[in-house]
Amino acid sequence: MRSFTIKMSENNSNEGFLRVREIINETLLRDVFIFVVFYLFILSQSWTNIFLLLFPIITFSFSFFFRIINSNKHRFILVTDLITYNPLGLEKKHANRLNFATLLQLILLFWIGAESFYHPHLIQTYDLFFIIIFPLFFSFGFYWILIDVWKYATIAIRLEKINKDKTISMLNVRRFRLISIVNLITFILLNLLNIFFGLLIENDLLSGFSYYLPGTGIENSSPLTLSIFPFIIIWFSPILASVLLFLIYKDLNRITPADLINFFKELPEEIRKQLNDNFAKINNKFKHDFKTE
């Protein structure tokens, strides 16, 4: 039997929980630093109503979550060059896209806050632009992470030394189409309704909610008038994205132990043991299935 050398991850920890210093890395610190600096600039403008300030916090929280997974996923895989385990797609792409959407929201918030101080008479000119674009940036971040998730959502075993690859699980075409349609329709519908109700409010055909900016009142400037849809978008977009990602995760992890064991039969004993240990460590479901089998 041909011998194989298994490369063990040097960063792998035998402890059940990771320490904070093990989780934090340079990329994570960079994202947090940039977000905090931008957010402090905005807070220095003395916003009295924090509703709009919640949008970038929510987006960044999701980006932070995916960044932690991407940065530390290798710690939970004993053999890093055997298994490709991406049941949520590429977490790095998700984190980068959501972080970009966060920065756009922070820039727009700082701009509208500064304009309310220095050019308060222009707020009434650009208020519709802000009311439309700001929720668009927020919802687009959660739409963006799902538009090509099917390319990367996969669980595979790659054995380069014996030139044998096996895709254990991937998002099927029917499920991907359903997720894509729901994702696209929801994104378009929410923003079209936000534009529609914004135009109604702009033309005094509908009353809305007054939102006071840091400089509201200077030169007798009026507050922004928001429709109900920013209040809907702020919770609906992240919840929908979470539900769709959960469905993808559940779909990819529907692996029967029989499928894996049949694939393992022709492999050397050492490889089989390492794969068993890895799958058991990655997901408790796999551990239970192997014991049952």
Q: How many Å apart are CA 186 and CA 243, to the nearest integer?
A: 13
Cα–Cα separations (whole angstroms), residue 68 to 13, 75, 86, 239, 278: 16, 11, 14, 20, 20
pLDDT at 293: 53
Q: What is the pLDDT of residue 3?
A: 35
pLDDT of residue 271: 72
Q: Which residue type sits at 22?
A: E
pTM score: 0.84
- pLDDT score at 287: 57
Contact 198, 128 (CB under 8 A): yes
Residue 257: other Cβ atoms inside 10 A? 18
Residue pLDDT tens, the chain, 293 long: 333 333 333 344 444 555 656 667 788 899 999 999 999 999 999 999 999 999 999 999 999 999 998 887 766 554 456 777 888 889 999 999 999 999 999 999 999 999 988 888 877 788 888 999 999 999 999 999 999 888 888 887 776 655 667 777 788 788 888 999 999 999 999 999 999 999 999 888 888 888 999 988 888 888 888 999 999 999 999 999 999 999 998 888 777 666 666 666 666 777 777 777 777 666 665 655 555 55
Q: Which 3 state secondary structure label does DSSP give 257?
A: helix
Residue 135's pLDDT is what? 95
Locate the domains of the chain by residue range. 20-254
| CA 135 to chain centroid | 17
**In the numeric block, which tokens belong to residue 111?**
């701009």
Q: What pLDDT score was predicted for residue 110?
A: 95
pLDDT at 284: 61
Q: How far apart are CA 96 and CA 31, in angstroms?
A: 9
How much is the pLDDT for 285?
56
In the chain, what are the helix, strand and coil shares in percent, each to the nearest 5? 65, 10, 25
What is the predicted pLDDT for the residue at 1? 35
- What the block records as the tokens of 206 is 């509908």
Please give the mean pLDDT across all residues of the chain.
Answer: 82
pLDDT value, residue 40: 96
